[in-house]
Structure 1
Amino acid sequence: MTKVFEYAVIGAGIAGASVAAELAGDAPVVLVEMESHPGYHTTGRSAAMFAPGYGPQPVRALTRASADFFCSPPEGFSEVDLLSPRDVIMVARSDQTDALDDLIAELASEAAVERIDAQDLRDRHPLFRAGYAEAGMLDRGGSEIDVNALHQGYLNQFRQRNGQLYTKFEISDLTFDGEVWHLTAGTEVIRAAKVINAAGAWADEVGQKAGAERIGLVPMRRTALTVEAPEGVDIDVLPLVVDIDEEFYMKPEAGRLLISPANEDPMAPCDAQPEELDIAFCIDRIERAFDIQVRRIKTKWAGLRSFVPDKSPVVGFSVKAPHFFWLAGQGGYGIQTAPALARCATALISGHPVPQDILKEDLDLSSLSPKRLVTSAK
């Protein structure tokens, strides 16, 4: 292949697909994916919510900055709504109320959240076990995200802008010759002026191939399962419930209940599979909190959520490898922040100012830069 692309994006999950679509509006872009289809790993296994009060401050800022896109995507982007409203409740036992009150105070200036008592919790979610919860935080700004519609929308936009997608392209060598990058997979070689590393759990490995700094990325397995809902309860109107210390979450899912122990088990990048112990923990925590009995598991799966130590995304050019851009470490927030993160990254990559509608959400770009991780490691 003799063509030189302006940009090569590695990884066709939501991060790679969204930034590739944005970049393709102005220059030749190639998107490479090691699997047979995009989104096989984390994106395709996500039970994503749009939750403005979820995550560290930079994530919350990016989530708010993504709201307009989710509510009003570009014409033709999706045939269905990207968001379906669903309240979010962070719940606390009596021994967790300090953490709950701290979060409410932190979010007071950002989101329309309110503290609700045990009776209000049970009124809003009749499956709560009596005596379990002391209080909760209600966030009426939550919604479910149609992950597939979002991902496919970006991929379609990328194709419409003449972007080229290569699947089954597992990079064995990544070198810079002083002018362009050479991405090698078997006998195939792609050349590009700039590389965007959106390789998810494999991002640190890709960075090492490029001679970039390590960012301390840790893939963490999270397990989820769906179970039958109790009879006589209209689960479709129930909120998403998340334990304040993230020991579990539960939400309606296509007539069933999706439950998770909200585990974060460090592991090497892989095709993550659920562990029986995590499933047991999940069922135990759910049955303690809710008046339900899990008799049969309908489906079970696991995915990798990859974090750096401060749990904020890594967005910016490498301090070591020339023309090599990090777009990694989105953790469990990659779906809800994708629109703003893609636009922010595109501006930084192309040397343009970051859009003001993103910056006005109190986003400090230094909180995303890979430089912060290199400095903190010294």
Structure 2
Amino acid sequence: MSTTRVEHLIIGGGVAGVSLAAHLAERERAAHERADVLLLEAEPILAHHTSGRSAQQLIPSYGPDAVRELTRLTLEELDRTQAELAHPVVWPSGFLMAGTEEQVAAGASEAMRRISLDELAQLAPELRIERFEAAGLDTTAVRSNAPRLIHWHAERARSAGAQLRTGARVTGIEPRPAGDGFEVSVQTETGTERIHARVVVNAAGAWADHVASLAGAAPLELTPLRRTAAVVTLAEPLAPEHPLLDRADEAYYYRPEGEHLLISPSEAVPSPAEDAQPILAEVEAVIELIRQDTTLQIGPVQRAWTGLRTESPDGVPVVGPDPEVPGLFWLAGQSGYGFQTCSALARVATDLLVDGAVGDWCPAWAAQALDPRRFPLAR
């Protein structure tokens, strides 16, 4: 059995792993004229699980302080770099919240402007306004094209010399003697392969704790949470500029999806790490709620899907070296913020992997908030 040798092995081909492959390979090529980066994805395609099931709405005012700062940095980078693309990967698209006074006050961020019910009716004329007391509008939110963003990161990674392999499932990670990296066992269609990696990056999403255990590391108690979405038909389409409408009690959200409507029950139900599937009865229940709150004439479900938003104990992503297993590096726990923080997290991870410290482009407090050592279980 032959053994492949690589400097950096990334496990997981979602948006976290692919964006890191791009940033890390570009950094290595600039410094050494070659990149020594290999990404392994267990599924036949990249972004098969959570990253391929995104609602594609990025809300900079959403999440803990560190997430909001990393989102700002990510959007700044995307704005700078997407000018080279034929089609944008992100563009402005408002976020509207409606509910009771108490619910909106609790859910509104600093970026959200309170609006009157008359303004709400203008922005979302399908609403039965009598069912709501208050509303807020966040004009900093943006839409994204998730497949295009994944493809862009993947092409950048390949152009810089990184290898991205699908259908390659990691089944074992054995530390080598004297801290000489890891022997990684990989199952493919043609059999078992061995890879000698100096550094293993754990970007395995819902499977991150499992991957860590293969390397002998303590789990960080990451929790996969279900989040379902569906596309339904409409008798009359909403205007393309219609903002995403979120009911403030988190019962549902919806937004236009071409001539159809994308809807979600906004659930956050713990789940095992698995290929999650939608529960159609829950989708039908959300459709009924939306019918009660609006005049929308909703037709059949065109498609539905469920992803797993893997959350850390404090809701902040985990990026940095494992405190007990040398050579193991965490890039996990994005908690549903994966797309909106992808570029900044990839830069943080690249700085730590190459330089051992994060550059001053990122506030020190935001970088420190990501450190795996903040969890007692990791000490």
> Normalising by the residue count of structure 1, what TM-score does the alignment of the two structures yield?
0.91
Q: What is the SS of the residue equivalent to 1:175?
A: strand
- Deviation at residue 254 of structure 1 after TM alignment: 1.7
Q: 1: CA distance between counterparts of 2:157 and 2:334?
A: 21
Q: Indicate the residue corresponding to 2:79 in structure 1.
A: 71
Q: What is the SS of the residue equivalent to 1:332?
A: coil
CA RMSD in angstroms comes to: 1.9
Q: 1: CA distance between counterparts of 2:57 and 2:209?
A: 26
- Deviation at residue 262 of structure 1 after TM alignment: 0.6
The one-letter amino acid paired with 1:134 is: E
1:258 matched to 2:262? The reply is yes
Q: 1: CA distance between counterparts of 2:366 and 2:83?
A: 30
* Contact in 2 for aligned 1:213/1:319 (Cα 8 Å): no
1:224 matched to 2:229? The reply is yes
Q: Indicate the residue corresponding to 2:286 in structure 1.
A: 282
Q: What is the SS of the residue equivalent to 2:129?
A: coil
1:328 matched to 2:332? The reply is yes
- Deviation at residue 371 of structure 1 after TM alignment: 1.4
Q: What is the SS of the residue equivalent to 1:36?
A: coil
Q: Indicate the residue corresponding to 2:353 in structure 1.
A: 349
Q: What is the SS of the residue equivalent to 1:89?
A: strand
1:53 matched to 2:61? The reply is yes
* Contact in 1 for aligned 2:235/2:298 (Cα 8 Å): no
* Contact in 1 for aligned 2:10/2:17 (Cα 8 Å): yes
- Deviation at residue 352 of structure 1 after TM alignment: 4.5
Q: Indicate the residue corresponding to 2:207 in structure 1.
A: 202
> Normalising by the residue count of structure 2, what TM-score does the alignment of the two structures yield?
0.91
* Contact in 2 for aligned 1:229/1:235 (Cα 8 Å): no
Q: 1: CA distance between counterparts of 2:238 and 2:246?
A: 19
Q: What is the SS of the residue equivalent to 1:24?
A: helix
* Contact in 2 for aligned 1:213/1:374 (Cα 8 Å): no
Q: What is the SS of the residue equivalent to 1:168?
A: coil
Question: Per-residue displacement from partner, 1:161-207 (whole Å, max 9, x unpaired)?
Answer: 11112211111111111302111023201111101100011111101
Alignment of 1:108-257 (within 5 A): 108=110, 111=111, 113-177=112-176, 178-186=179-187, 187-231=192-236, 234-257=238-261
Residue 135 to residue 201, structure 1, CA distance change in 2 (3 Å) = same
- Deviation at residue 356 of structure 1 after TM alignment: 2.8
* Contact in 1 for aligned 2:8/2:199 (Cα 8 Å): yes
Q: 2: CA distance between counterparts of 1:13 and 1:354?
A: 23
- Deviation at residue 367 of structure 1 after TM alignment: 1.9
1:366 matched to 2:368? The reply is yes
Q: Indicate the residue corresponding to 2:32 in structure 1.
A: none
Question: Per-residue displacement from partner, 1:262-287 (whole Å, max 9, x unpaired)?
Answer: 11121111111111232133213222
Q: Which moved more, 1:195-204 or 1:344-353?
A: 344-353
Q: What is the SS of the residue equivalent to 1:138?
A: strand
Q: 1: CA distance between counterparts of 2:56 and 2:312?
A: 20
* Contact in 1 for aligned 2:234/2:297 (Cα 8 Å): no
| Unaligned 5+ runs, structure 2 | 29-34
The one-letter amino acid paired with 2:180 is: E
Question: Per-residue displacement from partner, 1:329-363 (whole Å, max 9, x unpaired)?
Answer: 1121101110111111111122354233332xx84
Q: 1: CA distance between counterparts of 2:209 and 2:150?
A: 23
Q: Which moved more, 1:233-242 or 1:267-276?
A: 233-242
- Deviation at residue 252 of structure 1 after TM alignment: 0.7
- Deviation at residue 294 of structure 1 after TM alignment: 2.8
Question: Per-residue displacement from partner, 1:14-56 (whole Å, max 9, x unpaired)?
Answer: 0000011111121400000101111111111111212111122
Question: Per-residue displacement from partner, 1:57-82 (whole Å, max 9, x unpaired)?
Answer: 21111111112222121675x32111
Q: What is the SS of the residue equivalent to 1:247?
A: coil
Q: 2: CA distance between counterparts of 1:90 and 1:19?
A: 33
Point out 4+ residue stretches in structure 1 off by more than 6 angstroms: none
Q: What is the SS of the residue equivalent to 2:361?
A: helix
1:42 matched to 2:43? The reply is no
Q: Indicate the residue corresponding to 1:338 in structure 2.
A: 342
Aligned residues: 365
- Deviation at residue 318 of structure 1 after TM alignment: 0.8
* Contact in 1 for aligned 2:57/2:141 (Cα 8 Å): yes
- Deviation at residue 3 of structure 1 after TM alignment: 4.1
Q: What is the SS of the residue equivalent to 1:241?
A: strand
Q: What is the SS of the residue equivalent to 1:228?
A: strand
Residue 222 to residue 102, structure 1, CA distance change in 2 (3 Å) = closer
Q: What is the SS of the residue equivalent to 1:172?
A: strand
Q: What is the SS of the residue equivalent to 1:40?
A: coil
* Contact in 2 for aligned 1:12/1:31 (Cα 8 Å): yes
Question: Per-residue displacement from partner, 1:295-345 (whole Å, max 9, x unpaired)?
Answer: 311211111111122211111111121111111111211011101111111
Q: Indicate the residue corresponding to 1:12 in structure 2.
A: 13
Q: Indicate the residue corresponding to 1:85 in structure 2.
A: 92
Q: Indicate the residue corresponding to 2:36 in structure 1.
A: 28
